[in-house]
Amino acid sequence: MSLKAGSSLAHYRLIEPIGEGGMGTVWRARDTRLDRDVAIKIVRPDRTGDAGFRARLEREAKALAALSHPNVAAIHGLESFRDGRGRAHALILELVPGESLAERVTRGPLPPGEALEIAARILDGLSAAHDAGIVHRDLKPENVRVTPDGRVKILDFGIARELPGRTGGGSSDEGATVTSALTAAGAVLGTPRYMSPEQTRGAPVGTRSDLWSFGCLLFEMMTGKPAFPAPTVADTIAAILSREPDLAAIEEPAREVVRRCLVKDPASRDIDARQARGLLTPARGEPSGIAAGPRPRLTQETWGDGIDGFPAWSPDGRELVYAAESGRVRRIVRTRVGSGSAVPITEGDADEIMPAWSPDGSTVLFVRARETGRRLEPRDVFGIYEAADVWAADLATGRSIRLVEQAFNPSFSPDGRSIALDASWAGPRRIWLVDARGRNPVQASTDVSEAVSHHRPRFSPDGNRLVFQSLERTRFNVEILDLATRRSQPAAEGLWSDLQPVWSPSGRFVYFSSYRSGGLNIWRVPVSAGGAPAGAPEQITNGAGQDVEIACAPDGRRLAFAILRQNASLWVLPVVPETGRPAGAPRPLTSSGRDDSRGAWSPDGNTIAFNSMRGGDMNVWLCRADGGEIRALTEGPGGDYQPAWSPDAALVAFFSSRRGSPGIWTAEVATGRLACLSEERAIEINPCYSPDGSHIAYQSDRDGRLEVWVMRADGGGARQLTRCGVMGHFLRFAPDGRHVIFRCPSAGATLRVPLEGGEPEPMGKIAGGSHMSLSPDARRIMDVVAHKVLWVSPVDGDAAEPVFEFEDPEVRIDYPTWSPDGRSVLFDRFLPRGGELWILEGVE
């Protein structure tokens, strides 16, 4: 069959060849029927001559199609095509974008955190394949890709085979080998460097052969070198059969995983993919660290690349219900804590979230989308949901009924007689109470401002109060509502984004998620018997995780919560300097899958400083403006955020919790030497240099709430500039160096305050949020609204206009930053694609 670019096979148009293997040629092609790009592996004609081969090929394609795992590249179909010389067969495969591990390893070893995260995802895919009775047989760096949004995919099961008599469950190598349709019996197939000893001999292979290959792959990711280096294929095979790899450079417990995978006798290689995954979990580290003090124990409850969220405890504290991804939508599932398995309690094709267990254990409330197949998403992050109803699932019968229309975030009162929820039944979103059957609604919360909305109510243990989330434009607060007086008060002081509160079972604390330390972590505030705040907020978790959707176990000692992975990466958008409108298509700058975010241009525009978890901790990294020459500037735990360059490019300032409370630090660009400029036990964040480099402006809560402060560049002479409050992560010196520009929530405006002191002055009307960037000529501010749309607002008061958003509705944008020449805008692009449930034990 003569093939060339532009040829058509059925409804597939060939674009270009992208690979060649023993089975055939792989082409990038366009599926003209579904309007998508795919990979087509066209099997060599000499391989499809007999009917037995074709039957086995079809059977194995069906087995791979049934696998359907997020870490395994999908197979879309098996097609046959006829031309003048006969019939050809082709596998239609998912086209996976991104960089292969082979390309990544050529630059040297991966940071340990990144290597172990990728390894865990590979093992997830292998475990699913082995459970389905499928062995890969050619696992190597070239066959693993990391997509631009951080997903890990195993490719090319083209020499995979089914284990005989397997229909799933377990991963044993027992049983006689059958000839694979995609291989020849007894053939030595695979890539020599990653072959198991039994594979090099042409002996029968099974799942343990894949574990050998995985051990070689993990060794190479950790060290940057092959486990069995040799100049020729023959020497490589000899090394595999006779030599032991040097594991000295690999730290425990990853070393133990590699050691157990690289046992030469397959009968003694007593490890499977799931066991290896469990052993690697401690090595990956805790995605969210635990704040200083006695260390509670953090364990992972759910696994996988989907999003698990909204946990709720059973009354006896032994089970959880939560929302788990099931295809395009989520289902409410039930699991016994620590069991590793879950079963759905609902049926249907509509998205389901926000479960709540009744005090008697008989019922689970949940929110179900009105439209099937449509995923429920807030209009803004952690904001308002729409077009859904509250349902109730009877756990004894399995039946579900619609309880309340157009309502969200249900929770039972301690006696089970009332349900609190949020709804927009009489204007803006407010907290309402209904009885246990969803009847007799009564509005519980009020506010004089229609710009304020109320969400996510949770009862106090005595049932006399509610804690809820208040949202005003881009500001999130936690409020405590007295149900007798209908009066509310803040649970915690400060102009922060505090989210998703929940009462502890003892009534002594209110837990919530907050950006107070830079990342979105868990905090708590002590509460008096009368429901008033009784002390300062205390940080419970730290690090770069998005720690959200907290649920307290009935014993008060355990917290279940979700850690969301947003897979942020840095993108660059060419813009017209005079308007900020796009001058070309956006392009990715980084794609590590390790939360590359909050980028800052060097004064000459040639280097980017940014946050990343590439090394396992959130640190400051540097890269060229074209994405090359990436290196770490800081290392270690604590969480380093929001880099800002000094005008001479010798220093990068940032804020970090290395000494407990977030404070201002600097790092020398040439040496990495660190200096802490904050001496107070206060929260101090978001530094920026004056144009002449003599001062640093920053935000501090030294006087009890977040305000603008300034100090000399050496850390001395700190003084307060504002007394009106400040919000968000936007703080910049004006180009004249005589004013500091900031966002004020009380005024609902962007202001500038003189460096020498005085009253702040209002600037032009800004489009929306608090993550803004001033153009180099100080005439425009770029902002992001709803984490989706870039807006440009002229400082002189002219009308703001939207200038850019991605077509994909799931894509989020944040932290736009104008380049020094005004011709580019750097921003975070992320997809909220992953999340697991974790349990923190020992907190009360």
| Domains in the chain, CATH or no CATH each | 8-94 (3.30.200.20), 99-284 (1.10.510.10), 289-295+306-564 (2.120.10.30), 569-834 (2.120.10.30)
> For the whole model, what pTM was predicted?
0.55
Whole-number Å distance between alpha carbons of 637 and 615: 10
What pLDDT was estimated at residue 136? 87
pLDDT of the residue at 382:
47
Give 255's DSSP letter: H
d(C-alpha 765, C-alpha 821), whole Å: 24
* Residue tagged 């153009």 (tokens): 775
pLDDT value at position 362? 98
Nearest to 119 by CA among 215, 19, 243, 32: 215
**Active-site residue numbers?**
138
Separation in Å, CA 793 to CA 492, 578, 739, 748:
32, 12, 19, 15
Q: Quick one: which H or E segment has residue 31?
A: strand 24-31
- Mean pLDDT, 10 residues at a time, over the chain (844 residues)? 77 86 79 85 66 68 71 82 67 87 88 84 88 85 83 71 38 30 36 89 89 96 93 90 91 88 92 85 45 65 82 97 90 92 92 97 97 79 77 96 97 98 94 97 88 92 96 77 94 76 96 80 90 87 79 96 83 96 94 81 98 81 90 84 96 88 91 88 89 96 85 95 80 92 73 91 69 88 85 84 87 92 95 80 87
Beta carbons of 333 and 321 less than 8 angstroms apart:
yes
Q: Please state, as a whole number, how many other Cβ atoms lie within 10 Å of the Cβ of residue 109.
A: 17
pLDDT of residue 611: 92
How confident is the model over 138-179, as pLDDT tens digits?
A: 899 999 998 776 778 998 764 434 444 433 333 333 222 222
Query: How far, in Å, CA of 733 to CA of 696, rounded?
Result: 9
* Helices 254-261 and 112-131, axial angle in degrees (round to 10): 40
Tokens of 490: 């803040």
CA 222 to chain CA centroid, Å, is 23
pLDDT given at position 808: 81
Cβ(607)–Cβ(623) below 8 Å: yes
* pLDDT value of residue 504: 96
3-state secondary structure of 61: helix
Look at the alpha carbons of 683, 689, 693, 697 in this order and tell me if their dihedral is positive or negative. Answer: negative
Rounded CA gap, 811 and 553, in Å? Answer: 34
**Number of C-alpha atoms within 13 angstroms, CB side, residue 769?**
23
User: Given this model, what pLDDT does residue 168 score?
Assistant: 35
Contact predicate 120/131, CB 8 Å? no
